[in-house]
Structure 1
Amino acid sequence: MIRQRGFTLLELLIAMAIFAIMSTMAYVGLNQVLQAKADIDERLERTRRMQTAVNLLQTDLNQIAPRSIRDGFGDAQPALLGTPTGSDAAIQFTRNGWRNPLQQPRSHLQRVAYRLDEENRLHRLHWRVLDQAQDSVPVDTVILEDLESMEWRYQDSNAQWQDSWPPLQGGGQLTQGNSSTELPQLIELRLETGDWGELVLLFRPTQAG
């Protein structure tokens, strides 16, 4: 009768050590694969958000309408108000084509603003009315995060770039007054991003003169 020899303690310890090493290698490999997938998914999501934001900017800025408004204090505001970089509302304007699928009793024009906050998030604001009351509160949506800077410029009818719109006179007064309906020929937006570096976007309002 042949007797079967079992594992010695040393052989058992060696087998357990090999199994532990292989398990660790498999875990590390799987963890690296999962981390790589998470990184790719995060980058794809950031790319999707950027594309969505650019499409929204393009839709808004290409449909700027020459319609001035009254703010909550009854003061006239230009159809497009572009203030220097770093201000609370970098750009504010009236746009056409506000969809109304529910057939609500409102205008097809909409007042929109974009601003960059202290946490480098890009906000889109819109008002439900054009000529506002003191209690008119905009709908505020964050459309991009982790931006490093944002800068707007406006090209006038003489092909000169302006940092503000309407252009300012020497004394700091608006050249066309607060009720100006004049629109720039081109609008330039420079975004400094962590993922793609500097992006330069150009928009041409369809109703510009």
Structure 2
Amino acid sequence: MKLADTKPINVKPYSRGFTLIELLVALGLGAVIALLSFQALDGAIKIESRVSKITQQMNSVQRVWQFFADDIQHAVPRPWKDNFGNTQPVMLGLLGDRLSQGSGLSLGDDSYLLRFVRSGENNFLDIPRSNLQAIGYRITADEVDENFANDNTEPTVSLWRDYWRPIDSVNDPLVKSRLLIEKIKSIRFRYLSGNSQTAEDEAWITGWPESRDKNDQLPIAIEVTIDIVGVGAIVRLFPLAQQ
């Protein structure tokens, strides 16, 4: 009897899967990669937010200088009255550096670093009124912003520009306010008297008027220094028009 031909049986090799340790290692690596990716994305978002904030600050700085230049160029030696009806100098500027709210010249509940009267207001509707306008620059305390956190957690302030009519505050004027810039570390005004023979540092004074007998006089120039978080200290000089 002849045996039937038999074909060899092909046995597939054994396919070994991942061990538990290998799975744990793979999961751990995946978690680390995911965490690093999240941190990188979060860091990029924070950097973008900070860059955006700084860009906004730079734009705000330019706006501040534009307002200062226009207001100071149009300053006029016109006295004004306070809330009590007392006549004040044509320009009042506080002494030294100012950072905290409540250290300025009072008009109602607000405080001012600098007050004066300007001319040259536009009157497109040709309304019968004076072209004079009272101007006041004041500061208010900022809230903490993590995008602008200081190393020493120093307080910062915002600078506001107020203007109103009528000029004399005793008439309870309607004050209109505009926020110019936030996150100011310090702000300083210096004034150059018309009697100065030089523009060197010793000729500048930190408050105006320089004496009571000069209440009716304006300085010939004002220097403004603003130290801004994320930008640094910037100095600008603004000459006044000769009256």
Range of TM-score over shorter length: 0.7 to 0.9
Q: Deviations over 1:77-112 (max 9, x none)?
A: 333222323441221111122233454443222110
Work out the CA distance in 2 between the residues paired with 1:30 and 1:76.
60
Structure with a larger share of its residues in strand: 2
Matched, 1:189 2:224: yes
Q: TM-score, normalised by structure 1?
A: 0.78
Per the alignment, residue 50 of structure 2 pairs with: 39
- Cα RMSD, aligned residues only: 2.8
Q: Which residue of 2 aligns with 1:149?
A: 186
**Equivalent of 2:239 in 199, 204, 209:** 204
Cα pair 2:57 2:231 within 8 Å, conserved? no
State the distance in 2 between where 1:132 and 1:100 align. 22
Q: Which has the larger radius of gyration?
A: 2
Question: Unaligned stretches of 5+ in structure 2?
Answer: 1-9, 105-111, 143-156, 197-202
User: Contact conserved, 1:192 with 1:198, CA < 8 A, in 2?
Assistant: yes
Alignment correspondent of 1:69: 80
Between Structure 1 and Structure 2, how many residues are aligned? 200
Superposed CA offset, 1:146-202 (max 9, x none): 32322222211222433332321xxxxx1134xx1x321111122233334432221
**Residues 1:135 and 2:172 are matched in the alignment:** yes
Q: Whole-Å Cα distance in 2 between the matches of residues 164 and 22 of structure 1?
A: 60
Amino acid at match of 1:175: D
Greater shift in the superposed pair: 20-29 or 149-158: 20-29
State the TM-score, normalizing by the size of structure 2: 0.69
